[in-house]
Amino acid sequence: MSNAKRKVAVIGAGIAGSSAALGLLEAGFDVTLYSDKDRKTLRDNVPATGTAIYFGKPSQEADAQIVENIYGEDSFTDGFSVRGYDADKKPILSFDVDFRYFRAQGVDPRIRADDRIGRFIDKGGKFKVEQIDFDRLDEIAKKSDLTLIGTGKGGLSELFGVDDSRTVYNEPQRYLLTVNVAGLPFDDKAFDYRSKVGWKHNLFTSNQKQGEIFTGAFLHKDVGHSWILLGFAKPESEWRQRFEQAVDAASALQIFKDIFSDYFPQDAKEIAKFTLIKSDPYSWLKGAVTPLVRNAVGFTKSGVPVAALGDTAIIFDPIAGQGAQNVSVQVAALVKAAKSHKGEFDAEWIKAQFDAHWLNHGHGATEATRLYLEDPKYAAHLEALFPAAAVNEHAGSAFFRFQSEPSLILNLQTREAIERYIEEESGERFGELIERFKPDEKFSGRD
């Protein structure tokens, strides 16, 4: 049977759904993409659901199998400036490093999805706007050879039970606040006291008791070059109380400005330059997610198997930037497998594809996220990685390599293994690195 005669239904038109629909259409399938919102609403009347950053080659090469990079060479960052403070707001450590891998790209997920939907429609794909409930899903799945559910964290995701063997947490590990902003140009003067390359290095600033804030370059759907502030508040923190007070973009931005003033005053003058993106009232978002893994296969009312895709399958805390990357890798592998498969897309096939993805990428991405969440399992790893990063540039790059190649962490499960990894990446003996480390007493910068 040729793929042209085989029907695929994709429910949900975010990055996961639009990518899968376009990829499967180009693989020769008859594809219908269903959305509960029209294209204009998806692009202009919903918040960006994160940074959608692709770190390094694995995720970018996977995504390129669906859509080549259409956002220009000046949308890439290539490193991180890190500053860590203790619970009393005193400096602990800092480092500014290149990734030493193929760059990172943060693009508004609303334009990533819209560009894919547009290309999908132009190539003959069917885009239908309707609310899909469980009865309607059953009708659609009966008429389709393969049905993919990419609706994210609610609604039809209830079809897929939680996989307790792969799920670690039963509550949120961070409370989130994010806002897209303008007001600071992309040049080498942006945060130049923290990085010699200005905007090309994202900022990661943390307080031991409160949480972390990511500040980075972002390609916004309306204004292009812009910035994103993404805060991660620990559950019992004072930051969480502040985050909960946000009611719109203006209040969200003010909360960040106040936090920098109170906790990170050396960055406050630069953060104060940020302004609202007036064309986008949906440029902010707050909330919390419980990281989890769902079963790969769900069944409609009449027993038709359907497949979990993207956030429907794995929900990540965004602190390690693994959500969009997981989507790109999962979709590329799924399209390739479907294109060559001649049999039925039954429950066994669906499960086999997800199990392969879990082994190749998903498991590593969840474990890398645990590392960046300071999970007790990885306490010894962080005790080794941070001081080494503060004294050796290559050790610092090695810390962020887990964002690009998260499965590396699966082979580094002991303190001895992480020390060997640091030695291999840094070219120095671990003991010598630790001996050189001295906690910062004062960061150089603007007061």
Domain match, 241 and 337 both: no
For the beta carbon of residue 361, count every other beta carbon within 10 angstroms: 24
Question: Which residue type, as a one-letter code, is found at position 2?
Answer: S
Q: What is the mean pLDDT of residues 396-413?
A: 96
259 in any annotated domain: yes
Domain match, 131 and 57 both: yes
pLDDT, the chain, mean: 95
Query: Tens digits of per-residue pLDDT, 427-442?
Result: 999 999 999 999 887 7
Q: Is residue 371 a contact partner of residue 320, using CB atoms and an 8 Å limit?
A: yes
Q: Show the tokens assigned to 197.
A: 């390359």
The percentage of the chain sitting over the pLDDT mark of 70, rounded to a whole number, equals 98
Task: Give the DSSP per-residue string, 313-347.
Answer: TEE--GGG--HHHHHHHHHHHHHHHHHH--S---H
447 in any annotated domain: no
Domain match, 226 and 88 both: yes
pLDDT at 4 over 90: no
Domain match, 327 and 432 both: no
232 in any annotated domain: yes
Q: Which of 350, 370, 390 represents a domain boundary (last residue)? A: 370
Q: Which of 226, 259, 287 represents a domain boundary (last residue)? A: 287
155 in any annotated domain: yes
443 in any annotated domain: no
Domain match, 298 and 402 both: no
Domain match, 206 and 346 both: no
Domain match, 127 and 276 both: no
Q: Which of 261, 287, 313 represents a domain boundary (last residue)? A: 287
Q: Show the tokens assigned to 443.
A: 């960061």
Domain match, 35 and 126 both: yes
Domain match, 93 and 225 both: yes
CATH assignment at residue 34 = 3.50.50.60
444 in any annotated domain: no
Query: Can you list the positions of beta strands (E) in 46-116?
Result: 53-55, 76-77, 79-85, 91-98, 104-106
pLDDT at 244 over 60: yes
pLDDT at 316 over 50: yes
Q: What is the mean pLDDT of residues 253-274?
A: 97
Q: Is residue 412 a contact partner of residue 381, using CB atoms and an 8 Å limit?
A: yes
* 33-42, 147-156, 377-386: range with lowest mean pLDDT: 147-156
Domain match, 161 and 35 both: yes
Domain match, 87 and 180 both: yes
Host domain of residue 83: 73-106+173-287
Query: Tens digits of per-residue pLDDT, 330-347?
Result: 999 999 999 999 999 999
CA distances from 244 to 16, 35, 177, 181 (A): 29, 30, 8, 19
- Closest Cα to residue 11, out of 105, 183, 195, 139? 139
CA dist 444 and 439 (Å) reads: 14
423 in any annotated domain: yes
pLDDT at 447 over 60: no
Model pTM score: 0.95
Number of domains within the chain: 3
441 in any annotated domain: no
For the beta carbon of residue 414, count every other beta carbon within 10 angstroms: 11
Domain match, 122 and 160 both: yes
CA distances from 385 to 51, 220, 370, 388, 395 (A): 25, 33, 14, 5, 7
